[in-house]
């Protein structure tokens, strides 16, 4: 199996790389992991990881700077229906529009928008940093064999709000109800960082690899 972790200068992705390698080593899964922006390697991969750190605007602009990357990801995920996993802003970019810094067009894969968390007049600190409890759909593929109310690690100030709730696979609560993950056919995304979420995160990564 070949997995491509998209490198488009969206921040430090070493922990993402290490966590995928750790899962494969523990499960004796033969896998080749490429950290790449090479369009041919991405197209020929079996699965793609789209990480994202920083603002919606900056991540989107960085992705668009790689000539042909958006079209290649569209072909991979939307036309060829291969599994793609977006992490943090990588998931937020599935949306139509993000409102961080200014209005920015997303990938448009799951209808919805990305807006700032309501911190209720500074009663809640932003960014939301730390461990929070999940409530998830028992039919979720990502959360197979994960215990309900497990805790995972978040770092974000903005939230993805899909138009259709059926694509929401888990939620958490920080000041308000927040979408923690989405699943739509071959598209998977987490607002939290599975690579920083200890054994629960590694199990989620394992579930994606084994899809």
| 31: Cα separation from own chain's centroid | 20
- Cα distances from 65 to residues 60, 82, 104, in angstroms, run 9, 23, 15
pLDDT digits (tens, 9 = 90+) for 28-73: 888 899 999 999 999 999 999 999 999 999 999 999 999 999 999 9
Q: Which domains does the chain have, with CATH numbers?
A: 2-99+110-209 (3.40.50.880)
DSSP string, 161-205: EESSGGGEEEEEEESEEEEEEEEETTEEEESS-GGGSHHHHHHHH
Q: Is the pLDDT of residue 12 over 80?
A: no
pLDDT in tens, 67-99: 999 999 999 999 999 999 999 999 999 999 999
How many other CB atoms are there within 10 angstroms of residue 157's CB atom?
14
Assess whether 88 carries a catalytic annotation: yes
Is 195 one of the annotated active-site residues of the chain?
yes
Q: Which pLDDT value is given to residue 29? A: 82
Active site residue 193: yes
Comparing CA positions, the residue from 116, 48, 57, 113 lying closest to residue 77 is: 48
Catalytic residue among 59, 88, 156, 183: 88
pLDDT of residue 9: 86
């Amino acid at each position: 199996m070949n997995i491509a972790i998209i490198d488009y200068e969206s921040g430090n992705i070493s922990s993402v790389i290490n966590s995928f390698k750790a899962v494969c080593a523990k499960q004796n899964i033969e896998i080749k992991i490429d950290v790449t922006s090479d369009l041919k390697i991405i197209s020929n991969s079996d699965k793609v990881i789209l990480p994202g750190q920083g603002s919606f605007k900056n991540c989107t602009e960085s992705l668009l700077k790689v000539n042909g990357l958006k079209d290649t990801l569209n072909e991979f995920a939307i036309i060829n229906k291969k599994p793609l996993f977006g992490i943090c802003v990588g998931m937020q970019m599935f949306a139509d529009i993000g409102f961080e810094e200014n209005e920015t067009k997303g990938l448009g894969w799951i209808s919805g928008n990305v807006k700032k968390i309501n911190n209720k007049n500074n009663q809640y600190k932003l960014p939301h940093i730390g461990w929070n409890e999940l409530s998830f759909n028992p039919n979720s593929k990502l959360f197979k064999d994960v215990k309900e109310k497990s805790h995972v690690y978040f770092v974000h100030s903005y939230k993805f709000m899909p138009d259709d709730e059926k694509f929401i696979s888990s939620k958490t609560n920080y000041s308000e109800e927040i979408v923690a993950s989405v699943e739509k056919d071959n598209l998977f995304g987490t607002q939290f960082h599975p690579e920083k979420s200890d054994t629960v995160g590694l199990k989620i990564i394992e579930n994606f690899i084994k899809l």
